[in-house]
Amino acid sequence: HYADEAKSLERQMKTYCAAMTSIDTALGRLLDQLDEMHIADNTLIFFTSDNGPEDYHIGNMSNSGMGATGRFRGRKRSLYEGGIRMPCIARWPGVIPANRVDKTSIVGAVDWLPTVCSLASLPIPAVNLDGEDVSDILRGQSRSRLQPLFWEWRAGVAGNQAYKPPALAIRDGEWKLFAEPDGSRVELYHIPKDPEERANLAQRRPAVVSQLLPQLLEWKRSLPH
């Protein structure tokens, strides 16, 4: 079991639970204050995270690795789903439908700027943004993305090397493709049917690879060096 690799499971779990309790308490104070100020119905709260849980092999934090990724492969520093698929909770009474769970729409952190601008009725900056306005998704509409999501990770991963994918990734609709910057080591996964990213379909679906790989490599070439 992966938890057996923890340096001090009891101590690390206590630290992790204390951190979660602190977050819960602070968020509760915030919600109470919004109610007291009578602005809760005009306030958007967006709760998410930046990456998956740390690995047990990292020794610079006392609670390393306590978070769980469930069924997903990978942890922090990995481009597999366990490293980049995060919970996301949005709350805005009367605007965002309550008690609704969207399991199909694909949203990334790069969408935050244009989405907030749209919700606040502010002009979206006239620059080439990587993200798109997903305010309609927050309001209750499920739809496909208008443009793919891209990732690059230039360093290694800690611990389990099975969590280390190629350096680049693209998610377009139901497909997620990985490759090295030179176009080698291609991996292709159908995320709805294989969210654990176990069955590499690159050899079986060459048409999908031919569609996504050039986009991914062109995106890489467009990045600052």
Residue-wise pLDDT tens digits, 167-206: 999 999 999 999 999 999 999 999 999 999 999 999 999 9
What pLDDT digit, counting tens, does each position of 69-119 carry? 989 999 999 999 999 999 899 999 999 999 999 989 999 999 999 999 999
Structure tokens at 37: 């100020």
Residue 58: the pLDDT is 78
In 105-158, which ranges are E strands?
149-152
Structure tokens at 51: 């990456």
Residue 202: the pLDDT is 98
Which secondary structure element, helix H or strand E, spans residue 127, and what is its range?
Answer: none
Q: How far is residue 202's CA from residue 189's CA, in Å, rounded to a whole number?
A: 8
| Whether the Cβ atoms of residue 137 and residue 107 lie closer than 8 Å to each other | yes
pTM: 0.90
Which one, of 156, 157, 179, 195, lies nearest residue 187 by Cα? 179
User: What Cα–Cα distance (Å) separates residue 100 from each residue in 70, 91, 141?
Assistant: 21, 11, 11
Intra-chain end-to-end CA distance of the chain, in Å: 40
Residue 2: the pLDDT is 62
Residue 14, pLDDT > 60, answer yes
